[in-house]
Amino acid sequence: MENNKRYTDLGFAKLDMERTKRRGYSEAIYCECKTKEQLLEIFQAFKNESLNVIGTRVSKEQYEYLKSEFPDIKYSAQGRIITLINQEIKKIGEVAVCTGGTGDIPVAEEAALTAEFYGSNVKRYYDIGVSGIHRLFDKIDEIRKANVIIAVAGMEGALCSIITGLVSVPVIAVPTSVGYGTSFKGLSALLTMLNSCAEGMSVVNIDNGFNAGYSANQINRLISGKKE
């Protein structure tokens, strides 16, 4: 195992050890196509440096394997997120996470847990989609208080335009693969969001709750006066 100041070389992976210095936040581990043994090595390397680690798209099997080695590890089955905290980050500001339906909650949780991990307070507003729009209007004054809003929706994805048209803070839209037929696994929602005529919304990849949470946290903390 090669290790210089800037990255740790495990052969199958080169861990970016200067990420926090360069980018403000530590690297996240995308766990979907890694073996349990690879994850173990990676988490160990971060722990050796006393760095916080967050893993995304973690299966229950992967979690249980790591749990036996790192008893302090935390897992959200819904958000498929694993976190290992070695130095606490103080949460500041506020991010609102909204979903159109119940089926969008797993992606919303990935976003919410990520934003919390990196240092934001998060409020959740779930199942407020446009087929019963009074549910959204009932909450909108509360939602407006956040520094950044994450809007998560599948199917037609119209929720994000509606919210953006009602607020004065940035909105990060996350299309989800919820739906069938012409939802084309999230493509329909993605196109809706990219074509929104409500300015002030930007979009991330389908089901990419992680990037939404990361970006929202980054903006929230900058607004809250924390250039970390």
Site for its own copies in 135-194 (CB under 8 A): 135, 138, 147, 155-158, 161-162, 164-170, 172, 175, 177-194
Q: What is the DSSP letter of 34?
A: -
Q: Which of 3, 16, 47, 65 binds its own copies (CB under 8 A)?
A: 16
**Whole-number minimum distance, CB 146 to its own copies, in Å?**
11
Q: Which of 105, 146, 151, 152 binds its own copies (CB under 8 A)?
A: 105
| Sheet (strand 14-16) strand order | 2-3, 7-9, 14-16
Between 49 and 127, CB nearer to its own copies = 127
Provide the mask over 109-138, with x wherever binding to its own copies is found by CB under 8 A and - wherever it is not.
Answer: -----------------xxxxxxxxxx--x
Report the distance separating Cα 38 and Cα 194, nearest Å. Answer: 37
**70 phi and psi, to 5 degrees?**
-120, 90
Q: Which of 22, 50, 61, 90 binds its own copies (CB under 8 A)?
A: 22
Among residues 41, 72, 47, 76, which one has the least CA distance to residue 59?
A: 76
Q: Which of 40, 51, 89, 223 binds its own copies (CB under 8 A)?
A: 223
Q: Is 12 in the site for its own copies (CB under 8 A)?
A: yes
- Of the chain, the end-to-end C-alpha distance in Å amounts to 30
Report the distance separating Cα 34 and Cα 29, nearest Å. Answer: 9
